[in-house]
């Protein structure tokens, strides 16, 4: 029994990921992993939830920091992030509510 426990523990430790690669599969994943890990890990990204417009702003900001991606890569990244780290009901909320309107 002790041997089995040891074996299970060893297996468990081997299965611990060394690097957080918890991006869901899908088109654009490779691009995100290449372009968006140059300066920081994926934690910043996977812990965020943004609409497509917000992701575009984030990615634009990263490009101003120096992220390098071609136009079509930028598009792929934004589409991927909006799909996998988007806000569920944001698309249904497109009508501006103009909270500051007089
Ligand atoms: C040139 C370096 C660089 C690259 C490449 C880069 N980032 Fe960043 N990123 C930063 C820096 C610096 C910060 C922290 C400063 C801040 O939050 O304004 C940051 C913070 C973030 C944050 C958390 C803060 C926020 O503004 O929401 C997110 C999300 C993010 N990056 C996403 C991305 C994505 C997506 C990509 C790929 C398109 C990317 N980053 C590529 C430099 C970079």
Give tens-digit pLDDT for 1-49.
Answer: 666 566 555 555 544 444 446 799 999 999 999 999 999 999 989 999 9
**Res 22: pLDDT:** 79
Query: 57 vs 13, which has greater pLDDT?
Result: 57
Q: How far is the CA of 6 from the centre of ligand 1 (A)?
A: 41
**Res 84: pLDDT:** 96
Q: How far is the CA of 95 from the centre of ligand 1 (A)?
A: 28
**Distance between CA 89 and CA 73 in Å, rounded?**
26
**Mean pLDDT score across all residues of the chain:** 81
- Name every residue whose Cβ is closer than 8 Å to that of residue 69 and which is 6 or more positions away in sequence: 31, 35, 59, 63, 77
pTM, two decimals, is 0.76
Q: What is the largest CA-CA distance in the chain?
A: 74
Band of pLDDT at residue 89, cut at 50, 70 and 90: low
Measured from CB, residues less than 6 Å from any atom of ligand 1 are: 35-36, 38-40, 44-45, 48, 58-59, 61-62, 65-67, 77, 81
**Res 5: pLDDT:** 60
Which ligand 1 atom is at minimum distance from the Cα of 45?
29
**Distance between CA 76 and CA 70 in Å, rounded?**
10
- Name every residue whose Cβ is closer than 8 Å to that of residue 74 and which is 6 or more positions away in sequence: 59, 63
**Res 87: pLDDT:** 86
Which ligand 1 atom is at minimum distance from the Cα of 48?
29
Percent of the chain with pLDDT over 70: 65
Please check whether the domain covering 24-86 is classified as CATH 1.10.760.10: yes
List the helix and strand counts (H, then E) for the chain.
5, 0
Q: How far is the CA of 15 from the centre of ligand 1 (A)?
A: 29
**Distance between CA 88 and CA 12 in Å, rounded?**
34
């Amino acid at each position: 029994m002790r041997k089995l426990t040891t074996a299970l523990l060893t297996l468990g430790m081997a299965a611990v990921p060394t690097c957080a690669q918890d991006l869901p599969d899908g088109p654009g994943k490779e691009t995100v992993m290449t372009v968006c890990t140059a300066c920081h890990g994926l934690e910043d990204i996977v812990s965020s939830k943004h609409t497509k417009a917000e992701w575009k702003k984030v990615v634009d900001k990263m490009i101003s920091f120096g992220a390098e991606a071609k136009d079509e890569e930028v598009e792929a990244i934004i589409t991927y992030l909006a799909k996998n780290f988007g806000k569920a009901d944001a698309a249904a909320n497109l009508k501006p509510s103009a909270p500051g309107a007089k």
